[in-house]
């Protein structure tokens, strides 16, 4: 398995971004894409806690993909208490796909949609929070949008793989999930992963990672912190594929998980192994 450092760029023009990164679907770290956002200086742990700490937020733990707890919140907690928790050190409780702007609409005044490309989905602004060493399992986003992930206050590590590596990542059928751990690979269990080639970077406050549509990503919170994801779509084909992903997740994957429980998870794992073994034999 090989990881290539993701390029870091400053003062990247719209034309150069579209030609060199968007069209070829190549990741990049912007060092200054959001330099004019009021949120950069304003959104500190203390400020969010003092002004919006009363909001009740859903928290998810490491069992979110288990058949019994599939995508169910483990608990809820006042936002301020949770911010204090992730400042203190490691915890397996995370917040993801959190649309804080529905609860606090005025926060939208603190960000600006970039002009680096067209097609930003202005109704889909999601925040993610996690404690030190929290991990987001390897997956690609269900809606297939391009993602611009901006980090606040602390650091985050990201590992990316193009869609072409799906077989080597042991992609679970009917899902957007992989159970391979890019930083702690088990080559005995996942031998095809040795063939995979991906990209890696650690980025910090005010920096933005561009994750191209359909790219697999694993994320680790180097420190407890939070980020904001903006999404953009420049193709009707990815919109259609995103719709299909939603259908198969809602009606096939969740339905079978409810009916079969652990047996459904085992079937998906076996199918992923079969495809990867076939790829190894054909190599």
**Class of domain 2-282 (CATH, top level):** mainly beta
Q: Among 114, 119, 146, 149, which residue's Cα sits nearest to residue 13?
A: 114
Question: Do 151 and 206 meet the contact criterion of CB atoms below 8 Å apart?
Answer: yes
pLDDT at 254: 82
pLDDT at 249: 78
Q: What is the pTM of this model?
A: 0.92
pLDDT at 70: 52
pLDDT at 195: 94
pLDDT at 122: 92
CA-to-CA separations, 87 to 77, 129, 134, 150, 186, in angstroms, rounded = 15, 11, 12, 19, 31
pLDDT at 63: 59
For the chain (length 283 residues), average pLDDT per consecutive 10?
97 98 97 98 97 94 58 83 94 90 96 96 94 94 94 97 96 92 95 96 98 97 96 85 79 84 89 90 74
What is the distance between the alpha carbons of residues 181 and 162, in angstroms, rounded to a whole number? 16
pLDDT at 190: 96
Q: What is the CA radius of gyration of the chain?
A: 19
pLDDT at 33: 98
* Strand order from edge to edge, sheet including 225-232: 8-9, 28-30, 208-211, 146-152, 225-232, 120-130, 95-98
pLDDT at 276: 93
Domain extents in the chain? 2-282
pLDDT at 44: 97
């Amino acid at each position: 398995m090989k990881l290539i450092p993701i390029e870091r760029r400053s003062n990247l023009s719209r034309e150069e971004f579209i030609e060199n990164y968007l069209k070829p679907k190549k990741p990049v770290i912007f060092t200054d894409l959001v330099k004019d956002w009021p949120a950069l200086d304003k959104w500190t742990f203390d400020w969010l806690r003092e002004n919006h700490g009363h909001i009740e937020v859903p928290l998810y733990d490491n069992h979110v993909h288990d058949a019994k707890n599939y995508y169910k919140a483990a608990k809820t907690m006042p936002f301020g208490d949770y911010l204090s928790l992730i400042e203190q050190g490691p915890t397996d409780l995370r917040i993801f796909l959190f649309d804080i702007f529905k609860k606090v609409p005025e926060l939208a005044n603190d960000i600006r949609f970039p002009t680096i490309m067209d097609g930003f989905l202005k109704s889909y602004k999601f925040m993610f929070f996690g404690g030190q060493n929290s991990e987001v399992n390897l997956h690609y986003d269900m809606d297939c949008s391009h993602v611009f992930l901006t980090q606040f206050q602390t650091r985050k590590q990201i590992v990316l793989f193009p869609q072409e590596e799906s077989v080597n990542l042991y992609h679970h059928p009917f899902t957007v999930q992989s159970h391979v751990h890019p930083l702690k690979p088990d080559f005995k269990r996942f031998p095809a992963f040795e063939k995979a080639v991906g990209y890696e970077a650690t980025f910090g406050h005010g920096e933005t990672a561009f994750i191209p549509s359909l790219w697999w990503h694993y994320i680790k919170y180097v420190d407890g912190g939070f980020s904001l994801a903006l999404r953009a779509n420049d193709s009707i084909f990815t919109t259609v594929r995103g719709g299909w992903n939603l259908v198969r997740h809602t009606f096939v994957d969740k339905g079978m998980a409810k009916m079969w429980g652990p047996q459904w998870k085992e079937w998906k794992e076996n199918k992923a192994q079969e495809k990867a073994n076939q790829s190894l034999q054909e190599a």
